[in-house]
Amino acid sequence: MAQARRRFPDKKTEKKQPLFQQLSHVRTLEANVIGGVIKEKDALTSVIDILKPDSFQDERHVAIYQAILQLFGKTEPIDLLTVTNQLRLNGELEFIGGASYAANIMANSTVAHIEQDARIIVQYAIRRKIVDTLDNVKTKAYEDTTDVYGLMDSTEQSLRDIQEGNLNKNIPELSAVVAKTIQEIKNKTDENSDHSNVPSGFPSLDLLTGGFHNTELIIIAARPGMGKTAFVISALRNAAIDFHLPAALFSLEMSAQQVMLRLISAEAEIDSHKLRKGDLDENDWHALHGRLNNLSTAPIYIDDTPALSILELRTKARRLKAFHNIKILIVDYLQLMTAGSQKQGMNREQEIAAISRGLKTLAKELNIPVIALSQLSRSVETRGGDKRPQLSDLRESGSIEQDADVVMFLYRPEYYDIDTLEDGTSTTGMAEMIIAKNRSGSIDDVKLKFIGKYTRFAEFDGFSVSAEEYEERAGFTVAGSKANNM
């Protein structure tokens, strides 16, 4: 049974279209390519990776090309008889103007420059898609109910889809795949090349995890007061200064100036309380100026936009990746984010789930590790014993555990007035990084040292590893004096 058919645009409609859509030679090129594919049995292989049905402007050519692809998919011969018969089965033969139209374009076609003609057709198709996208953006931009950040994100994604949808995705020769794979292996073993993972700068942790892996979502969770922010600021500093890796911090709780005060305190080893009060002596000023150059030239990017939505984060992160090639992104912290325009009709648990999924998608899209801090529920405080956190304590959504590749808990026993561990080790200044989930590695605990007055973390007393061993076992080369003092 014949289906309801599309109508070929009449002259009145055509006059409203952009100038390039009115150019008759575009339809002529399309007719030549379609006719050439029907005429020559091998012509389709020259254009099938270039043209899609929506590449054609004339809807008659869309219908014919779809019929050709159907025949190709069934491994049937492609000629005038089979194409017209497939069009008849599709209920589209009358729509294109009958068998006479297919015969006419075949008779007047040539395959001499069919691939070049196909590429020109694609260029006009891309133009049409861009115009359609921007027309839609213009319409939505005038609507008061439009979320402008969501619109910017969707516009960027639409343009990206147009670009990616028209990339030539020919299957490479196996030899090319082998060569590329060998080159990647060489790059990873070359001491002058960048390590594919991002180091935390804490050798005890990096030796266990191999650093923060690209495309992974790492959740660092703890109760308030444990030092989550201090830890990621320490890791941020290590990546940017010791390893010269561009790093971004989205701080939803603290201002950029507050973050910088913490960085200065840790870098210059000046008591954070003295910095906040401005109570510095001559030695403090000397230390400040001596270490400030490290920070002022470090590739650190801080955004302190409050109540950031996942769409805003994606937009900003993409730009940071494009313009500064950031290697790691940190969000402080997850529960302060919003789902933006997606949140309509969502409860808080669903909103957190949307945010965690968005963060994981962002890590894969940018091919970098994304670290998100997260609060733990109050159930930790009501539990007896040493109050060590566990996966069920993740606040508000089980999807955080599901989406995360790595879940780490920061735990300081002295916070709960636990003075010594079972083995007699003093807990003064001690912190534990509990790796509770690790898709790409083992699960274990790592002891670190928390230096409260400098709001920073360091290796726990007694742990020592040479720069050579760190490089050999974890794969990271530390720059500058840090390598000599590890």
CATH code, residues 21-162: 1.10.860.10
What is the pTM assigned to this prediction? 0.61
Neighbours of 456 (CB within 10 A): 23
Tokens of 379: 């159930």
138-150 burial: b if 16+ Cβ within 10 Å, else e: eebeeeeeebebb
Closest CA to 270 of 239, 298, 291: 291
CA distance 230 to 452: 9
Output the pLDDT for position 474. Answer: 64
Return the pLDDT at 166. Answer: 61
Q: Which residue has the tokens 């605990």?
A: 445
- Rounded Cα gap, residues 367 and 266, in angstroms: 29
Please report the DSSP string for 114-146 in residue order.
Answer: HHHHHHHHHHHHHHHHHHHHHHHHHHHHT-TT-
**Helices marked H in 15-147:** 19-22, 24-39, 44-47, 59-73, 80-89, 93-96, 99-107, 114-141
Count how many Cα atoms sit within 13 Å of the Cα of residue 110 in the half-sphere of its side chain: 3
Confidence at residue 11, expressed as pLDDT on a 0 to 100 scale: 42
Q: What is the DSSP string of 415-445?
A: GGT--B-TT--B-TTEEEEEEEEETTS---E
Nearest to 233 by CA among 267, 208, 210, 209: 267
pLDDT at residue 192, rounded to an integer: 41
Residue 474 contacts residue 483 (beta carbons within 8 Å): no
CA 248 to CA 235: how far, in whole Å? 11
Res 313: pLDDT: 85
Contacts of 361 (CB under 8 A, 6+ apart): none
Long-range pairs of 421-428 with CB within 8 A, sequence gap ≥ 24: none
What is residue 373's predicted lDDT score, i.e. its pLDDT?
93
Topology of domain 195-474, CATH: Rossmann fold (3.40.50)
* The pLDDT of residue 472: 66
Calculated CA dihedral for residues 155, 158, 160, 166, nearest 10 degrees: -150
pLDDT of residue 340: 67
Q: How far apart are CA 299 and CA 244, in angstroms?
A: 7
- Give 14's Cβ-side CA count (13 Å radius): 12
Please compute, for residue 306, the number of CA atoms within 13 A of its CA located in the half-sphere on the CB side: 3
Task: Tell me what pLDDT residue 85 has.
Answer: 92
User: Which own/partner pairs from 384-391 qualify as long-range (CB within 8 Å, at least 24 positions apart)?
Assistant: 386/413, 386/416, 386/418, 387/416, 388/434, 389/221, 389/222, 389/223, 389/434, 389/436, 390/436, 391/436, 391/437
Of 26, 185, 38, 181, the C-alpha closest to 117 is: 26
- Of 206, 221, 216, 200, residue with least CA distance to 404: 216
> What is the residue extent of each domain of the chain?
21-162, 195-474
Predicted local distance difference test score (pLDDT) of residue 161 = 76
Contact 203, 486 (CB under 8 A): yes
Token pair of 456, please? 């920073």
Return the pLDDT at 395: 64
Distance separating alpha carbons of residues 160 and 143, to the nearest angstrom: 24
Ranges of the chain with pLDDT below 70: 1-24, 164-196, 290, 340-345, 395-398, 462, 464-467, 469, 471-486
For residue 331, give both structure tokens: 């969000």
Beta bridge partners of 457: 450
Q: What is the pLDDT of residue 322?
A: 82
Do residues 405 and 440 lie in contact, with contact meaning Cβ atoms separated by under 8 Å?
Answer: yes
Whether the domain at 21-162 and the domain at 195-474 fall into the same CATH topology: no
